[in-house]
Structure formats: C-alpha cells, structure tokens
Amino acid sequence: MTYGLSIRPRVLVNVSRIDMSTTILGFNSSAPIMIAPTAMHKLAHQEGEVATARAAAACNTIMALSFMSTCTVEEVASSCNAVRFFQFYVYKRRDITALMVQRAVRNGFKALILTVDTPRLGRREADIKNKMIAPQLKNFEGLLSTEVVTDKGSNLEAFASGTLDASLCWEDIGWLRSITDLPILIKGVLTHEDAIRAVEVGVAGIVVSNHGARQLDYAPATINVLEEVVLAVQGKIPVFLDGGIRRGTDVFKALALGAQAVLIGRPVIYGLAAKGEHGVRRVIQMLKDELELTMALSGCCHLKDIARSHVRTGHERLQSRI
Ligand SMILES: Cc1cc2nc3c(=O)[nH]c(=O)nc-3n(C[C@H](O)[C@H](O)[C@H](O)COP(=O)(O)O)c2cc1C
C-alpha cells in the first residue's frame, strides 16, 4: 500500500530510546497495532481464535474478535487476559445481534466494532468457484445455521443475504447505544461525509477500512482517504486504519497521516496458518521491530513525534515542482 507516499526523515535527534507504547480507548498497548477482526480462524489453525488471542496477550496488543469466529466468545475470553474488542454485524434477527453483544459484555470485551460496509456481501468470485461453505459457527448454535448450501452461486453469499440486515442505517446507532454502554467504533468509513455523520451520532471511533478490498471494487485504498477522514473528525474521536499494512513503514505512514493505530488482517492469518500462536506473535513482533527502526531512522522517539511533515504524498511532490 501507500504507493507514492514517501517518508521525510529528520536527523540528529537523540533516538537512543524509542517508545512505541500507547493507549487505545484508554487501554494500554505495546504498539499502535491491533489485530483486525477476521472470520473463522480454525480454517487456518486448529486452535483458531484462542491461539490468536493468546498471541495478542503475549505481545500486549489488542485483538478484535470477529462475529464469525470459530471459537466461541466464552472460549476466547477464558483463554487469556488480552484486551479484546468485539466486531459484530446487525442481523435481520436483531435479537441475535443483541444476544451476541450481551455475551461480549458479559465476557469482558472492552469495546464493540460495528462493521458498516457490509449491507450485502461483495461478489467474491473465489468463494463461488471454490463453493466455500461456512462451518457451523459455535456462537450461533441453537440460533441459526451457518452451513448454508445453495446451487446458485456462493454459499457464503447465500448465508449472508439471509442474515445481514440491509436496512441498517445511521438512526440504528441509537438502538445499539441503547443496548450497551460499551464504546462503539464503526468500521468501513471511507469518506468525510460519513466521518462527520459518525461523530454526530456519537460513536467512539472510526476505522477507515475497505474490508481488505473484499467488498466494493474501486473503493479507494484506505491510506489515500485517511487524511480526508482525519480532517473531518477534527480530533473529536480517534481514527484507525486497516488495509494493506505489511511493514512497519506502513504503520508509520498511517500514523503520520493521523491514524491513532492500525489493524492487521491477513498477516495475522498467515502467521496463524504457518505456526499457530507462535506465528501470530512473530508477525506482530516483526511489525513492531520494523516500526521501531522506522521511528529511529526518521528521528521520532515517541508516537506523538510522528507528524504530518514526516510524509509526503505523490501529489505534494508534483505540486512542489510546479
Ligand atoms: C479472511 C478474511 C476474513 C475477514 N472477516 C472479517 C469479519 O468477519 N468481520 C470484519 O469486520 N472484517 C473482516 N475482514 C476484514 C478485516 O477486518 C480487515 O478489514 C482487512 O483484512 C484489512 O486488510 P488486510 O488484510 O490487508 O490487513 C476479513 C478479512 C479477511 C482477509
């Protein structure tokens, strides 16, 4: 990602000690890196989300658990003391959403992440070709079947269209706030108009996300719209970013453009598939090491030292030549 963005390093700064620690919604984190919610970790490793959560705890980072997890909310909560946020969708059966939110609250999850870019599932051609079927997710046992099979296209899409509430709109944030006191982040904002609306309805934060480019073709790269969102919210709520974070330099660029922290999706699944909990730890550690080095080489000792002037966009370079 971040094609066209370059880093403007500052020199002769005492960088003998680098501190990457931060707080996210008031919770300590060793670095501004969180685990993004991704579905069905048992497809990558038999220990599933429990292994991911343990890695998050070991690295002192925050994990967002997907609504579509293969381990239950309770299993993940009792496996370790990681700070956990809970991602959720609003289903047509709102009683199921409310029940899941209550289970997250009961099990010590600290914040909720409502994913808002999925009124319908994007057209995922690989899922159609592979005839992907979701396993029966234990969280929903006794509530609904997730193993939907259809002879028309994607099984996953058939499940999603039967469950997701496409009528969800801004007014419903009030309903969500009436069923929980936990802070609610909304994930999937890509425009300043929606960022302003999010502040108005009182959410606790925004995740600039295009769902890892799995929903709308031609949605922008998140790094390219981050600043638009940051400027719109005027510091009233924190802004986070996910999508394409693969290197510590990517984290640095996102912070320079105003993100408070980033979330990582696929790298975590790759680490999990390769080596379970240990693999996820390695992924997080590599990103942290790279961020620390980037900060040192850019003249930043603390996250607050990373400023807008540390990056230059391709557009700005062009402008300076005119
Ligand atoms: C396999 C996979 C499953 C995902 N499942 C979910 C999900 O259940 N809920 C959700 O809000 N986002 C989901 N996402 C999107 C991620 O939260 C995140 O936005 C995206 O992966 C970030 O991009 P990255 O993979 O480049 O880091 C999923 C992404 C992937 C790749």
In the chain, where do the E strands start and end?
Answer: 6-7, 22-24, 27-29, 33-35, 63-65, 84-88, 111-115, 184-189, 205-208, 239-242, 261-264, 311-312
Residue 13 included in any domain:
yes
Residue 143 included in any domain:
no
CATH of the domain at 74: 3.20.20.70
- Residue 3: the pLDDT is 53
Residue 146 included in any domain:
no
Determine the structural domain holding residue 178 and report its residue range.
6-119+164-321
Helices (runs of H) and strands (runs of E) counted in the chain = 11, 12
Residue 92 included in any domain:
yes
Residue 24 included in any domain:
yes
> What is the per-residue pLDDT across 167-201, written as a single tens digit (0 to 9) for each?
999 999 999 999 999 999 999 999 999 999 999 99
- Residue 1: the pLDDT is 45
pTM (two decimals): 0.97
What domain count does the chain have? 1
Other CB atoms closer than 10 Å to residue 61's CB: what's the count?
26
pLDDT at position 64 over 80: yes
> What is the per-residue pLDDT across 107-159, written as a single tens digit (0 to 9) for each?
999 999 999 999 999 999 998 998 888 888 999 999 999 988 888 888 889 99
* CB 36 less than 6 A from any atom of ligand 1: yes
The secondary element (H helix, E strand) that includes residue 270 is helix 266-298
Q: What is the dihedral of CA 14, 19, 24, 27, to 10 degrees?
A: -140
Q: Confidence band (pLDDT; 50, 70, 90) for 243?
A: very high
Q: Give me the active site residues, please.
A: 211
- Residue 133: the pLDDT is 84
Residue 315 included in any domain:
yes
Pocket test for ligand 1, best of 73, 164, 214 (most atoms within 8 A of CB): 214
- Residue 85: the pLDDT is 98
Residue 95 included in any domain:
yes
Residue 202 included in any domain:
yes
Q: How far is the centre of ligand 1, averaged over its atoms, from the C-alpha of 214 (Å)? A: 8
